[in-house]
Every structure is written in structure tokens, then in C-alpha cells.
Amino acid sequence: MRDAKTLAYINMFAVLGAIPTLMEIVPEAKTILGKSACSVGIAVKGGPSATLTFASGHCVMKEGCEDCAIKLPLGSPEKFNGMIDGTVTPIPSRGFTHLPFLLKKFMKITDLLSQYLRPSEEDLADAEFKKRSTTLMFGVIARAIVQIGNHDKVGMASASYITDGAVKMAIENGPSAAILCKNHHLGYSKKVPEKFTSYMTFADMETARDLFDGKINSVATVGLGGVRIGGMVSQVDNVNRILDRVALYLA
């Protein structure tokens, strides 16, 4: 079963955490933002809080929302998850003068993100769209592993066996990231450190996409060379156990 608090952390830092990359790789996102600059903070009672700051066609996310221009408070993880699903409409507690940005810019950017994370078959028929979508999904999945390892009971059990170090995740000729582990707490880095203790590499974008969409079996793909793993095998094995729970939360 899914834990609402864990899902809230995934929605905040894995899903909304994809917006900075969206702004980097999807020209339409920059067009929507234009020359606007604003910061949107989301505070979830009993859950995560973060601020997305937009400026000069880019976006940065940081934890906490003390300095945001617009603040959206949510009374529980369930309500925040409802906001992400479109069933709950938050009311700002700060920044009413910035409502045009929230409604005309931020909401359009999140709608665009949804299109890339939940694409239609027609969308995926476009090679460039598919590449961008797969890049965004890769980041969401890597960050979701971190949140599940830190908040989900089953994920935390797997994380308790992960030794300190960095697990490199990458798609050949595509994006890469690192899952960082220290004292059984997981972190995410878009930049892979020079020294990593283990790795998981997808052979190409097509293989990664088929795995993300559940069209091919991960174990069989490892056997066929579609996914290469190495280094400290126990480390990769436990990250894979957490990865198995990602689909439960992102379904």
C-alpha cells in the first residue's frame, strides 16, 4: 500500500522537482514563463515544504518556503496529493498580488510537466518529445528512490542495508544522477561524483523508456545487457528493491 506522507515527499521533490529540468530542456516552458520572475512556496503540514523560484527562464527548487512570494499551505499530505491530482485547490496565504503568475504561468508549467510525465502514444511518436519525456522520467524516478528510501517503511528497511557511498544511475548518451547514501539516509545529486561505489546504466533511451513504461522485464533486461550493473552489488541490489516500489507510488 502507498503511504500518503511518502507520496507527498515524492510529489514535492520528485515530481515538482522535475520543473527545473523541464525549464532547461523544453522550450515551451521558457515561452510560458517569458520574462516573469516569482517564487512559489508550498508548505504541507506534517510533510514537506519547498520553494520553486523562477527567473530568467530558469527554475531552482530549495527546501523550505520562508522567503517565497506566493505561499500555498496544505493542511495534510493527503490534501497536497489531492492538489497534485487536481482534486484539491489550495488557497494562498501570502502573495495575492502574484495570483496572475500562479494562474497564468505556474499552472501552465505544471500542466506541461504533466503532459511530459504522462504522455499519450501520439506524443511519444515524436522522437524529440520522447527523448525529453524520458529524461524527465529518469530524474523523477531517481528522486523518488530517495524519498521512498527515506520515508516508506519498506523502502527504509532496504535503505538500512545500503552502505555509505554513491550509486551512479545513467542512460548511455543521456542523463545521469547519483543516489547518495550516508548512515542509511539517501540523497540525490544531478551531478555524479568522480568516485562512486556502484552503478546502474541503461543501454539507451529506448531501453530506459520501455522499462519506465513497464513494457520489458528489468531482470530479463539485465540478463540481456540492456541494463548494466557493477561495483558493490549489495548496494545496487538494495537500491533496486526500492526502485521496485517506485511504480506503486507513481502509478
pLDDT at 193: 95
**What is the tally of structural domains in the chain?**
2
Q: Is residue 167 part of a domain?
A: yes
Residues 114 and 17 both lie in one domain:
yes
Beta bridge partners of 189: 178
Q: Is the pLDDT of residue 210 over 90?
A: no
- Grid coordinates in use for 47? 510533510
Q: Strands, E, within 64-102: which ranges?
A: 70-74
Which residue range is the domain that position 235 belongs to?
Answer: 129-250
Residues 195 and 239 both lie in one domain:
yes
Of 57 and 216, more confident: 57
Residues 200 and 98 both lie in one domain:
no
- Residue pair 22/116 in contact (Cβ under 8 Å)? The answer is yes
Long-range CB contact pairs, 32-38, < 8 A, 24+:
32/105, 32/108, 32/109, 32/112, 33/57, 33/105, 33/109, 34/105, 36/101, 36/105, 38/69, 38/70, 38/98, 38/101, 38/105, 38/106
Residues 163 and 240 both lie in one domain:
yes
Among 70, 89, 118, residue at a domain's last position: 118
Q: Strands, E, within 36-160: which ranges?
A: 38-44, 49-55, 58-63, 70-74
Per-residue pLDDT band at 28 (split at 50, 70, 90):
very high
Q: What is the pLDDT of residues 68-104, one digit of tens each?
A: 999 999 999 999 999 999 999 999 999 999 999 999 9
pLDDT at 212: 81
Helix H or strand E segment including 140? helix 127-151
Between strands 198-202 and 185-189, the pairing is unpaired
Amino acid at 142: A
| Non-local CB neighbours of 109 within 8 Å, separated by 6+ positions | 19, 22, 23, 29, 32, 33
List the CATH number of the domain containing 36. Answer: 3.30.1050.10
Q: Is residue 124 part of a domain?
A: no
Of 1 and 249, more confident: 249
Q: What mean pLDDT, rounded, does the chain reach?
A: 94
Q: Is-above-0.85 flag for pTM?
A: yes
Among 54, 88, 118, residue at a domain's last position: 118
pLDDT at 165: 96
Cα 52–chain centre separation: 14
Least confident interval from 35-39, 151-155, 209-213: 209-213
| Non-local CB neighbours of 21 within 8 Å, separated by 6+ positions | 135, 136, 139
Longest Cα–Cα distance of the chain, Å, equals 57
Residues 74 and 135 both lie in one domain:
no
Of 251 and 241, more confident: 241
Among 98, 118, 138, residue at a domain's last position: 118
Residues 209 and 245 both lie in one domain:
yes
Nearest to 147 by CA among 245, 60, 220, 55: 245
Q: Is residue 83 part of a domain?
A: yes
Residues 202 and 94 both lie in one domain:
no
